[in-house]
Amino acid sequence: MQLIESLPKISENRVIEIVHKCMEQLSAISPDFLLTTDDFEFGGLFEATGLQGQTSLGQTDGKFKQVVTFNANMFREGLEDIYLNTIYHEFLHVIVNKYMILNNIIALDKNGQLKINNKKFFESVEDNKGHGGLWLEYAVRANKVLNLTIPITPYCSDASMQKVLDSSLDDYEEPAIEIVCQDCGAGNKFLTVNVEELPGGFGLLAMYYDTVHKNINHFCKKCNGTMYIIIRDPKFKAFMDDALDAHAMELMLYKITSQFA
């Protein structure tokens, strides 16, 4: 699917309506799929191109808490197949987590830490990066009933969707940050600066150091090529420039030791 012209974004109020409609349609399949707003919290929208949606399972006051968030950039007129796929995909995670909680497959110990009571069942769900076991079984059942144009799949961030999001991004805003491999072109774009989405640890600063000095590195996971970071957000660029100065010695040691890792 390719974008021929710019597509207007859907308002967040309309997104919330769509999310609740999807919840109702899933719940209507059978009692196994029953989902209410008591089962999760809608955490709002974020902006990125490498991730369409996310379900987090944490705890608050000794009780499990699920939070679902979605990529605002995919909610555009004409991209219904993509965002419906993602909403159902994430809701299946919520439903499966709910099943494991209610059936004491997972629990919280007195310190609020995750306790696994049925390792075999839990590992079957965790197979294929969280898309195995009951999740996969429910996805097959939901696809048959909902008859989606793009079926619910383990990886809703496939190549065709990425192209749509990239095209949509180009139509609207220049990304604040780009991380691009100079050899194979792989990488990612970020509309806004969100440290939770960026690569963590000292590697990000080392990548920026290589970008500034045009050094070769091997950060690309696809081809082992050189990754550079392009920063257009002036505040974040100033922050990174200051960090380069403040950690010059550590960066030098990091570069030396990483060569022999």
Q: Write out residues in the chain with pLDDT < 50, as ranges.
A: 1-5, 158, 160, 168-172, 260-261
Per-residue pLDDT, 195: 61
Alpha carbons 21 and 196: distance in angstroms, whole number: 29
Domain assignment present for 16: yes
Residue 159 belongs to some domain of the structure: no
Residues 142 and 41 in one domain: yes
Total residue length of the chain: 261
The predicted pLDDT at position 244 comes to 85
Whether residues 231 and 140 share a domain: the answer is no
Give the per-residue pLDDT at 49: 63
Residues 114 and 215 in one domain: no
CA-wise closest residue to 95 among 57, 150, 39, 145: 39
Residue 67: domain span: 12-146
pLDDT in tens, 80-137: 888 898 999 999 999 999 999 999 999 998 888 899 999 999 999 988 778 889 999 9
Measured distance CA(207)–CA(33) in Å, rounded: 44
The pLDDT value recorded for residue 191 is 65
Q: Work out how many domains the chain is built from and give that number.
A: 2
Distance CA 102, CA 125 (A): 15
176 closest CA partner among 237, 116, 108, 107: 237
Q: Are 176 and 231 in contact (CB under 8 A)?
A: yes
Residues 29 and 131 both lie in one domain: yes
- Do 102 and 140 lie in one domain? The reply is yes
Asked whether 209 and 256 are in contact (CB, 8 A), the reply is: no
- Contact, 72 vs 45, CB < 8 A? yes
Same domain, 70 and 139: yes
Mean per-residue pLDDT of the chain: 81
Clarify whether residues 200 and 120 are in a common domain.
no
Q: What is the pLDDT of residue 57?
A: 92
Residues 191 and 250 placed together within one structural domain of the fold: yes
Position 169 scores a pLDDT of 46
The model's pTM is 0.62
Does residue 200 share a domain with residue 83? no
Tell whether 157 is covered by a domain. no
Query: CA 250: distance to chain centroid?
Result: 31
